Structure 1
Amino acid sequence: MVSPAPYALIFDMDGVLIDNTPYQAKAFQLLFRDLGLTTNARQLLRRLNGMPATNIFKTVFRHPVPDKQLKEYSSQRELLYRVLYWDKRRETPGLSAFLRAARTAGFKIGLGTSSPPETISYIIDHLDLRQYFDVVVGKEDVDKGKPHAETFVVVAQKLGVPPERCVVFEDAILGEQAAYKAKMRCIGVSSGLKPEEFQAPLRVIKDFRDITPEQVRELLEQNPPVPKPSKEMAKREYMKL
């Protein structure tokens, strides 16, 4: 008898491995101010967090902006964010202990983020977290960022684990939608959202002291169906602010 594939844990980075959303928002807000935009960055990220920055910028202009300019804005925002967050880099409470326990329990572990390689390194190498991940997938590894499913699909393929045996840890509505599009279940991390703002996660945690790998396995072994992505929620998230 062939033994089943292992279960896999797939993590988003921002708002999951680290609680950095306030600093991301402040960096956006400073740049918006310089560009003469009145968009509220905190409200913007509540809706669009998880998307590549260039795509987020597309939603705040009423006129078309060339891709080259959007990339320049994204680079400026990234510099502002790094300066603001430089001395604040801390892992989400309980993360390392959870990851060590998950490895011991036989889980495959992957990272799936919309960030570019240098931003991934800025976080996971500074915090010495790369050692826990079997696979790291970022912006450069996919054609379509979240809420498209590709990021999580590629992580699962590289891990060699079928989607029905994967669970995604996400803090963002659009990231949760990406998980469901990838035919995976999701555990919400409420770093920036209230528990009721998620669509249908297996569970919502505040940080990684709230759950153990054994509890994750129990949730997966109950084999609940993967929710259908909510077109209504996704549409609402893309609305102009």
Structure 2
Amino acid sequence: MPDSNPYALIFDMDGVLIDNTSFQARAFQLLFRDLGLTTNALKLLRRLNGMPATKILETVFTNPVPKKQLETYADQREFLYRTLYWEKRREMPGLSKFLQEARTAGFRIGLGTGSGNDTIGYIIDHLDLRRYFDVVVTKDDVDRGKPHADTYTVTARKLGIAPERCLVFEDALMGEQAAYKAGMRCIVLSSSIKPDKFQAPLKVIRNFQDITPAQILELLEKAPVTPKPSKKLAEKTYAKL
């Protein structure tokens, strides 16, 4: 792979770098209990995971809730999540080895997440992963979160790589759609959603022991066209929000 025209790998964080969806769901469920809500948090996240927490919370109330109150609820959920996940923080199997091999192979590497700087520090700095990323983009760097393309478009721009040469790693339906809206191809991890729920990933993996940089190059060369976002999937999951 010539350095003059490299590919880039862009990673979501939750459910990709770490297998934490069940802890996220538990934190939401505890918050819902305190608020007297009966929403099933795990089902909710399977549909809306990838959106900022305030946007997810906005969907569970019958009447509009002020933005400031939603932010307070999101902070409470974040505290619950960190408490639950504190001693469970570990990278997805095979991640560090894969990232090192990808850098050696010449890939540019970016992180594009809907979480804020404090949250990603809690994960990637604790696990000593920041050194692998050329660029880190958070919710604070974009105007609109997933399923909009902004997170991945900004990451690609900061990496200096054209969208068609970027491959996104996602675990969420909205994240996959955001990748396609950004003009990028996608590999998905089946850490929180069944493989058949996704639209058109190049490959479905359980973790990073299932893929190598060489295999990624083969996949990119065999499937050069980026899928168009699915209107049907959008209508089913999030278009009416």
Shorter-chain TM-score: what band? over 0.9
Q: AA paired with 1:17?
A: L
Alignment of 1:140-155 (within 5 A): 140-155=140-155
Say whether the 8 Å CA contact 2:180–2:229 is kept in structure 1: yes
Q: AA paired with 1:169?
A: F
Query: What's the offset of the Cα at 1:237?
Result: 1.4
Question: Residue 158 of structure 2 aligns with which residue?
Answer: 158
Alignment of 1:17-36 (within 5 A): 17-36=17-36
1: distance between equivalents of 2:18 and 2:175?
Answer: 15
Q: AA paired with 2:146?
A: K
C-alpha distance 219-40 of structure 1, shift in aligned 2 (>3 A): same
Q: AA paired with 1:165?
A: R
Deviation >4 Å, runs of 4+:
none
Question: Residue 139 of structure 1 aligns with which residue?
Answer: 139
Question: Residue 83 of structure 2 aligns with which residue?
Answer: 83
Query: What's the offset of the Cα at 1:221?
Result: 1.6
Question: Residue 207 of structure 1 aligns with which residue?
Answer: 207
2: distance between equivalents of 1:67 and 1:219?
Answer: 43
Question: Residue 98 of structure 1 aligns with which residue?
Answer: 98
TM-score by length of structure 2 reads: 0.97
Unaligned runs of 5+ in 1: none
Say whether the 8 Å CA contact 2:202–2:223 is kept in structure 1: no
Question: Which moves more between the two structures, 222-231 or 139-148?
Answer: 222-231
Question: Residue 182 of structure 2 aligns with which residue?
Answer: 182
2: distance between equivalents of 1:106 and 1:225?
Answer: 22
Cα RMSD (Å): 1.5
Q: AA paired with 1:194?
A: K
Q: AA paired with 1:160?
A: G
Question: Which moves more between the two structures, 3-12 or 133-142?
Answer: 3-12
TM-score by length of structure 1 reads: 0.97
Query: What's the offset of the Cα at 1:3?
Result: 7.1
* Matched position secondary structure for 1:168: strand
Say whether the 8 Å CA contact 1:32–1:38 is kept in structure 2: yes
**How many pairs are equivalent?**
240
Question: Residue 196 of structure 1 aligns with which residue?
Answer: 196
**1:73-98 CA distance string (max 9 Å, x none):** 00000000000000000000000000
Question: Residue 114 of structure 1 aligns with which residue?
Answer: 114
1: distance between equivalents of 2:101 and 2:52?
Answer: 31
Say yes or no: does 1:69 pair with 2:66. Answer: no
